[in-house]
Amino acid sequence: MAIHFACARCSRALFTQDHYAGGDARCPACQHVNRIPGNTGNTAPEAARSVDPHVVDMEISDGSEQPSPFARPVRAPDAESGVQASAEIAEGRRCPACAKSAAPGAEKCGACGMPLGAALPREQEHEKIKSLITGMLAGAYNSASLWRSIAAIVTTCTAGWLLWLTLSALDRPDPPYAMTGFNALMLVGLVWSTRQMKHGPPQVFLAAACAVMLCMPLDMRLGFVDADMIADVQRQNAEYQIVLSVEQARARLFWVSLIVGFLFSVPVWIAAIKVATLRRLMMEFSAKS
């Protein structure tokens, strides 16, 4: 049977065999010397049970002249003592449940039946959580990589469309130079964003998404809309007995282009969210590991 108690300094839950009751014990975590309480029912105190129910055994000394594998003189703090105790449990020389020594070659503890060399439940839980987090990070990374590629394709298509739009505007008798200069700046920004999307931060995708969404409506405001386009809008609405003025036709073209630009920029917005989520997960995992 085992006696359970908590370290007076670090509150780590400890246990040892009951015949060492009243002796001294050194905590393997903080090296504090504790007095082993008497065995009352072999039940762990509530405080020790709430701190850490899965803990390796400790080094103790009850003053006997015949030391056992668990009875060793209390000495100066040894940084290797806790590591050695954990290694003995991992190698199957001690039981991780009742702290009793095991016979050489035994697979289970003769006292409680606990498999020797088995990982402690809390260690198993930590490994399971670590595996789960690693899987989440891998899934988030693959998803972010996919949306990075999609965002790069959308941005490249937008840059090509702007280039075609600019060349078409320059063929007019009175080319809109304001729109031409604006498109030149947008082209430079979109090309730079496309090059940065492979490993860039979320801010790159946010800037590209805004550019993709606003380039078409801003072109409408800067002179891309000519008299022929306005006449076409008025004629199409006249078929439904809707009469539009020139300003109303311009406003309708602006809002339609804004909606189309937003829909076209949705993949870039999703990529920004995916990249930001991946970075947040990696920061939290690095902070906890």
Determine whether 163 is exposed, middle or buried from the number of CB atoms within 10 Å of its CB (0-12, 13-18, 19+). middle
Please give the pLDDT value at position 5. Answer: 78
- Give SS3 for 267: helix
Residue position matching structure tokens 């949306």 = 147
- Note the pLDDT of residue 100: 65
With bands split at pLDDT 50, 70 and 90, how would you rate the model's confidence at 261? Answer: very high
Percent of the chain with pLDDT over 70: 70
Burial of 5 from C-beta contacts in 10 A (0-12 / 13-18 / 19+): buried
Give pLDDT tens digits for 157-187: 999 999 998 888 888 888 888 888 899 999 9
| Token code pair at residue 157 | 């298509």
Would you call 118 exposed, middle or buried from its count of C-beta atoms within 10 A (0-12, 13-18, 19+)?
Answer: middle
Greater model confidence, 110 or 196: 196
Stretch among 32-41, 213-222, 272-281 having the lowest mean pLDDT: 32-41
- pTM listed for this prediction: 0.54
**Backbone region of residue 117 per phi and psi (left: phi > 0; alpha: psi in -120 to 50; beta: other values):** left
CA distance 131 to 125: 10
Write the DSSP string, 84-100. Answer: HHHHHHHTTSB-TTT--
Identify which has the larger pLDDT, 208 or 37.
208
Res 117: pLDDT: 57
**Distances 277 to 95, 103, 199, 281 between C-alpha atoms, Å:** 43, 52, 14, 6
d(CA 258, CA 271): 20
Amino acid residing at 107:
E
Q: Where are the domains of the chain?
A: 1-118, 125-288
Given this model, what pLDDT does residue 95 score? 64
Give the span between the Cα atoms of 186 and 165, in whole angstroms.
12
Q: Give residue 102's pLDDT band: very low, low, confident or very high (50, 70, 90).
A: low
Q: Looking at this protein, which amino acid is placed at residue 126?
A: H
Question: Is pLDDT at 188 greater than 90 in this prediction?
Answer: yes
- Average pLDDT of span 211-218: 91
* Structure tokens given for 151: 């965002």
